[in-house]
Amino acid sequence: MTGIDDLPIRDELRGKSPYGAPQLDVPVRLNTNENPYPLPEPLVARIAERVAEAARHLNRYPDRDAVELRTELAKYLTRTTDHEVTTANVWAANGSNEVLQQLLQTFGGPGRTAMGFEPSYSMHALISRGTGTGWISGPRGADFTIDAPAAERAIAEHRPHVVFICSPNNPTGTAVEAETVLRLYEAAQAARPSLVVVDEAYGEFSHRPSLLPLIAGRPNLVVSRTMSKAFGAAGLRLGYLAADPAVVDAVQLVRLPYHLSAVTQATALAALEHTDTLLGYVEQLKAERDRLVTELRAMGCEVTDSDANFVQFGRFDDSHAAWRAILDHGVLVRDNGVPGWLRVTAGTPEENDAFLDAVRAIRKENH
């Protein structure tokens, strides 16, 4: 049998594994930070209508610049972040992973490096590697916040070309203060002109306002967003960024022509028409997230403050054994490899109850 390593693949990919959480068929799946609420029926009907209209023109390539979609995304951002965003500030792609990949293809690449503050979203390192960009793991404090002086020192020492700041951070749930972002931006610009990417995939779930207004007057600052979480549309694959129009122009150099299908654009536009309903679900999920934090703490678990739609909890002597024990109670959570800690996504109230019962049961079994 031929294996991957028998093929003439790039050396840096040898022996590596692809990204992916185990997808097990269990009653309660709270492991991939998805939104538990299916899209409401009126939105499903509207998607069918808009996709039918798009289907009438599928003999043609889609709008290469996705202007209507970018305009609606700009309106959404303006409305929800109190910062005026125009079509020229916004770019969209197939999931924010593709947005990040386009940014690394443009601003990273062979001979260049990217830095993130770990533990953080593992795809930042993986997409860096996939684009030939060197990866530098920056520090995070014991409480999982970014310690600004330590991060500034790491930036000054390594002079990365791209800096990732994930806020709220996956897998810890930790939000980053605007002041910290500004300090790291200044440090990164002092080291060399470099791109600072604020990954706000979970921005809508935060107790704090978006960091997006910081892009004003900072052409090397990008905020990336997604419809996968707050809009409950992980299957749609629609991510976007807001930045200086020059950044949007720059990513045109690497995007594939017609990368965003007409069906994707039509579906995303339909979802944006139902923003208010979808943001109503976000409010419910925020309340459930806060309930998970409170109830886990009441049980005696340690819990990291969360601004996302998931909660990091522990501490376990053997987090993998705890993951397995929770799974034995029919609930799938995520072991992100952070020693002592596990991560649970906020689900429906019933799913969260099942999770809390499972944790209560395993704590009893261990005492």
Tell the smallest beta-carbon distance from residue 8 to ligand PMP (Å): 29
Tell the smallest beta-carbon distance from residue 345 to ligand PMP (Å): 10
Tell the smallest beta-carbon distance from residue 239 to ligand PMP (Å): 4
Count CA atoms within 13 Å of residue 146 on its CB side: 32
| Contact indicator for 293, 306 with CB cutoff of 8 Å | yes
Instruction: Closer to ligand PMP by CB, 161 or 237: give it.
Output: 237
Instruction: Closer to ligand PMP by CB, 227 or 358: give it.
Output: 227
Ramachandran angles phi, psi of 294, nearest 5°:
-65, -45
Tell the smallest beta-carbon distance from residue 41 to ligand PMP (Å): 23
> What pairs with residue 334 in β-bridges?
343
Instruction: Closer to ligand PMP by CB, 227 or 331: give it.
Output: 227
Tell the smallest beta-carbon distance from residue 89 to ligand PMP (Å): 18
End-to-end Cα distance, the chain = 48
| Contact indicator for 127, 254 with CB cutoff of 8 Å | no
Tell the smallest beta-carbon distance from residue 33 to ligand PMP (Å): 6
252: region left, alpha or beta (phi > 0 left; psi from -120 to 50 alpha):
alpha
Instruction: Closer to ligand PMP by CB, 313 or 356: give it.
Output: 313
| Contact indicator for 90, 75 with CB cutoff of 8 Å | no
Tally Cβ neighbours within 10 Å of residue 342: 24
In this structure, what DSSP letter does residue 29 have? E
Indicate the length of the chain as a whole number. Answer: 367
Q: For residue 269, give the nearest of 61, 81, 68 by alpha carbon.
A: 68
Angle at 71 between CA 260 and CA 242, to 5 degrees: 80
In this structure, what DSSP letter does residue 154 have? H
For residues 301 and 295, give the distance between their C-alpha atoms in angstroms, rounded to a whole number: 9
CB-nearest residue to ligand PMP: 95
Tell the smallest beta-carbon distance from residue 200 to ligand PMP (Å): 8
Tally Cβ neighbours within 10 Å of residue 14: 10
In the complex, the residues that contact ligand PMP under the rule CB under 6 A are 33, 95-97, 121, 166, 170, 199, 201, 226, 228, 234, 239
Instruction: Closer to ligand PMP by CB, 165 or 296: give it.
Output: 165
Tell the smallest beta-carbon distance from residue 166 to ligand PMP (Å): 5
Tell the smallest beta-carbon distance from residue 229 to ligand PMP (Å): 7
Instruction: Closer to ligand PMP by CB, 120 or 352: give it.
Output: 120
**Residue 283: exposed, middle, or buried by beta-carbon count in 10 A (0-12, 13-18, 19+)?**
exposed
Instruction: Closer to ligand PMP by CB, 116 or 160: give it.
Output: 116
Instruction: Closer to ligand PMP by CB, 232 or 239: give it.
Output: 239
Both structure tokens of 54: 């798009």
**Rounded to the nearest 10 degrees, what angle do helices 41-55 and 262-273 cross at?**
150
Instruction: Closer to ligand PMP by CB, 194 or 224: give it.
Output: 224
